[in-house]
């Protein structure tokens, strides 16, 4: 099924086992930005994700593909992270993923897409032929209860189908 991730993580990005990804032959990571790596609109990387990202960058090629359209904000992220950040990715479109595959010099089978949304990150990653990893939003984030409820319903749907 196109919304079912390759790996379903019952935690945030910091709970992904990077050693397991290496064993699976993954050499590149395409990360979603908002709610996956940083809290939306903050342009601040908290300690846990910062440590995880530092470790990931030691072993993998890493870039961001975000549907965020705010160029000023994306420029802040580019400066903060010092890596390729593609905004206006229009996920689940494959375009941004293909651009990053070329930049990485890797095949789709060697890259994993990590994100918090089945309809954008996971579907887009599947369409591009990549491993997909669905995570929860950052542990440090406080989002409205209605949004958390929707995310939990998405996960129930993914598990059952």
Domains of the chain and CATH, by start: 7-160 (3.40.50.1000)
Per DSSP, the three-state class of 125 is: helix
**What pLDDT is stored for residue 157 in this prediction?**
64
pLDDT for position 145: 79
Query: What CA–CA distances, in Å, run from 91 to 24, 57, 141?
Result: 24, 23, 23
Give Cα 23 to chain centroid, integer Å.
Answer: 19
Cross-strand bridge partners of residue 133: 7, 114
Query: What are φ and ψ of residue 47, in 5° steps?
Result: -60, -50
Is the pLDDT at 156 greater than 90? The verdict is: no
- Residues 109 and 119: their CA atoms lie apart, in Å, by 20
Tokens describing residue 32: 């979603």
Instruction: Please give the backbone phi and psi of residue 39, each rounded to the nearest 5 degrees, phi first.
Output: -70, 140
Give the pLDDT band (50/70/90) at residue 141: confident
Confidence grade of residue 41 (pLDDT, cut at 50, 70, 90): confident
Provide the pLDDT confidence category of residue 161 given band limits of 50, 70 and 90: very low
Total number of residues shown for the chain: 161
d(CA 100, CA 107): 10
Residue-wise pLDDT tens digits, 90-121 = 999 999 999 999 999 999 999 999 999 898 99
Q: Answer yes or no: is pLDDT of 21 > 60.
A: yes
Mean pLDDT, rounded, for 123-137: 96
- Please determine, for residue 75, whether its predicted confidence score (pLDDT) is greater than 80: yes
36-44 average pLDDT score = 93
User: What percentage of residues in the chain have a pLDDT greater than 70?
Assistant: 94
Q: What is the pLDDT of residue 71?
A: 96
């Amino acid at each position: 099924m196109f919304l079912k991730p390759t790996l379903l993580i019952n935690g945030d990005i910091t709970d992904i086992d990077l050693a397991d990804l290496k064993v699976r032959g993954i050499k590149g990571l395409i990360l979603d930005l908002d709610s996956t790596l940083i809290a939306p609109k903050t342009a601040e990387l908290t300690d846990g994700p910062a440590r995880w990202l530092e470790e990931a960058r030691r072993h993998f090629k890493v870039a961001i593909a975000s549907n965020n359209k705010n160029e000023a904000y994306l420029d802040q992220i580019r400066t903060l992270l010092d890596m390729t950040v593609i905004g206006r990715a229009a996920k689940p479109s494959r375009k941004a993923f293909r651009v990053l595959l070329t930049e990485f010099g890797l095949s789709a089978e060697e890259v994993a897409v990590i994100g918090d949304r089945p309809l954008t990150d996971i579907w887009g990653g599947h369409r591009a032929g990549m491993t997909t990893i669905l995570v929860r939003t950052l542990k440090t984030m406080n989002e409205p209860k209605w949004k958390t409820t929707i995310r939990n319903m998405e996960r129930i749907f993914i598990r059952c189908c």
